[in-house]
């Protein structure tokens, strides 16, 4: 487990380094094309501010996308106590706890570290689970926080937003350079200037398209791939927390039998959930943010033999 935590921290640094190199290269390219260093500086500044905002607010944003409503010990003592008991037993800070108004059976965890973590459970999960099953699921979510899985997922979530911002930046840049004047009349340019700006426009379109492709398709796929690799470890860590693998197995069986797709779902946040929030099917499984439920149950059954 300690190796996994160290690996997640190392992966965080690698992701950030790749991000810095990529956007520095894009900024340098735009500065060279426009012969204006301030274009690149503006892009780096915009993305840097955007990413910092994402880093510090991504957890709240992700929970907001899910529709989570923050609870206290008085408003929902059952869920609160399940999380509180786990936090105390593991010596972890108490995360912010939410109820997600959705009838699907699911839960989620997000946060840059254990001191800034958020966990949530859907109304459907609270209705259908017994006390021990709820504890098993919340232990799984707390395991993600303990193992720093949530930090890696959150950074990828933020980078998806940064690439989306880059795509919008390129679009606005193109409109500003090649659009109409304020009076709605076409800009008057010499033939030489038009010829010079045309390849710049093509490059900006290409950069914008690649950024959009990463934010809309490749980024979420990478996040889902990371999520699939971390789910098995979170299952094992959660089972060790409760010393009751059968609790998580029972909850997974119920979810497999009775759960439906979440009413409020987003591909960028799919990897933050306990199980895949999208409808099942061959294509969904290929692109799923989670491994097959039956496989997870089989692994937990093997683990239960050692208890």
Q: Is the pLDDT of residue 27 over 70?
A: yes
Q: Which two structure tokens, joined as six digits, stand for 265?
A: 């779902």
Span 62-101, pLDDT tens digits? 788 788 999 999 999 999 999 999 999 999 999 999 999 9
For residues 165 and 159, what is the distance between their CA atoms, to the nearest angstrom? 9
pLDDT at 183: 45
Query: Could you tell me if 170 and 177 are in contact, meaning their C-beta atoms sit under 8 angstroms apart?
Result: no
pLDDT at 159: 72
The rounded mean pLDDT for the chain is: 76
**Residue keyed to tokens 């009413």:** 263
Q: Which two structure tokens, joined as six digits, stand for 70?
A: 């923050």
Greatest mean pLDDT among 113-127, 245-259, 268-282: 113-127
Could you tell me which residue, 115 or 58, shows the higher pLDDT? 115
Question: Which listed residue (133, 135, 141, 231) is catalytic?
Answer: 141
pLDDT at 79: 96
pLDDT at 219: 66
Please enumerate in sequence order all residues whose Cβ is within 8 A of that of 85, keeping only pairs 6 or more positions apart, or say none: 135
Span 211-232, pLDDT tens digits? 777 777 766 666 666 666 678 8
Span 54-70, pLDDT tens digits? 778 877 877 887 889 99
Average pLDDT over residues 273-281: 58
Residue spans per domain, the chain: 1-179+189-307
**Residue keyed to tokens 């380094």:** 17
pLDDT at 220: 66
Q: From 249, 291, 248, select the one nearest 139 (Cα to Cα).
A: 248
Buried b (16+ CB within 10 A) or exposed e, 61-90: bbbeebbbeebeeeebeebbebbbebbeeb
Span 129-149, pLDDT tens digits? 999 999 999 999 999 899 888
Please enumerate in sequence order all residues whose Cβ is within 8 A of that of 284, keeping only pairs 6 or more positions apart, or say none: 276, 278
pLDDT at 65: 79
Q: Is the pLDDT of residue 194 over 60?
A: no
Q: pTM for the full model?
A: 0.71
pLDDT at 269: 52
pLDDT band at 281 (very low <50, low <70, confident <90, very high): low
pLDDT at 276: 58
Tell me whether strands 96-100 and 117-122 are parallel, antiparallel or unpaired.
parallel
Question: Is 302 in the active site?
Answer: no
Span 1-16, pLDDT tens digits? 556 556 656 766 676 6
Average pLDDT over residues 257-261: 64
* C-alpha triplet 237, 288, 282: angle, nearest 5°: 130
pLDDT band at 173 (very low <50, low <70, confident <90, very high): low
Query: Could you tell me if 228 and 288 are in contact, meaning their C-beta atoms sit under 8 angstroms apart?
Result: yes
């Amino acid at each position: 487990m300690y190796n996994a935590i160290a690996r997640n921290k190392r992966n965080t640094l690698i992701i950030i380094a790749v991000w810095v190199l990529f956007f520095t290269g894009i900024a340098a390219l735009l500065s060279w094309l426009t012969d204006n260093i301030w274009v690149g500086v503006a892009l780096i500044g915009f993305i840097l501010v955007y990413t910092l905002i994402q880093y510090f607010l991504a957890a709240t944003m992700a929970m907001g996308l899910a529709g989570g409503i923050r609870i206290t010990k008085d408003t929902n003592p059952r869920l609160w106590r399940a999380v509180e008991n786990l936090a105390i037993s593991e010596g972890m800070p108490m995360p912010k706890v939410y109820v997600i108004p959705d009838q699907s059976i699911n839960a989620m965890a997000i946060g840059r570290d254990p001191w800034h973590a958020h966990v949530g459970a859907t109304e459907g999960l609270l209705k259908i689970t017994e006390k021990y099953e709820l504890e098993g699921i919340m232990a799984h979510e707390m395991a993600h926080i303990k193992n720093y899985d949530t930090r890696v997922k959150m950074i990828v979530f933020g980078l998806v937003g940064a690439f989306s911002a880059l795509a919008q930046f390129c679009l606005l840049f193109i409109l500003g350079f090649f659009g109409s004047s304020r009076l709605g009349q076409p800009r008057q340019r010499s033939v030489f200037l038009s010829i010079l700006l045309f390849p710049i426009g093509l490059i900006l379109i290409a950069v914008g398209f690649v950024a959009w492709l990463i934010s809309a398709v490749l980024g979420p796929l990478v996040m889902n791939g990371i999520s699939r690799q971390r789910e098995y470890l979170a299952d094992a860590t959660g089972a060790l927390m409760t010393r009751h693998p059968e609790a998580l197995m029972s909850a997974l069986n119920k979810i497999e039998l009775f759960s439906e797709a979440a009413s409020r779902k987003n591909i960028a946040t799919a990897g933050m959930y306990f199980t895949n929030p999208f409808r099942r099917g061959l294509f969904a499984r290929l692109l799923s943010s989670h491994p097959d439920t039956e496989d997870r149950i089989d692994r937990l059954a093997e683990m239960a033999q050692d208890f």
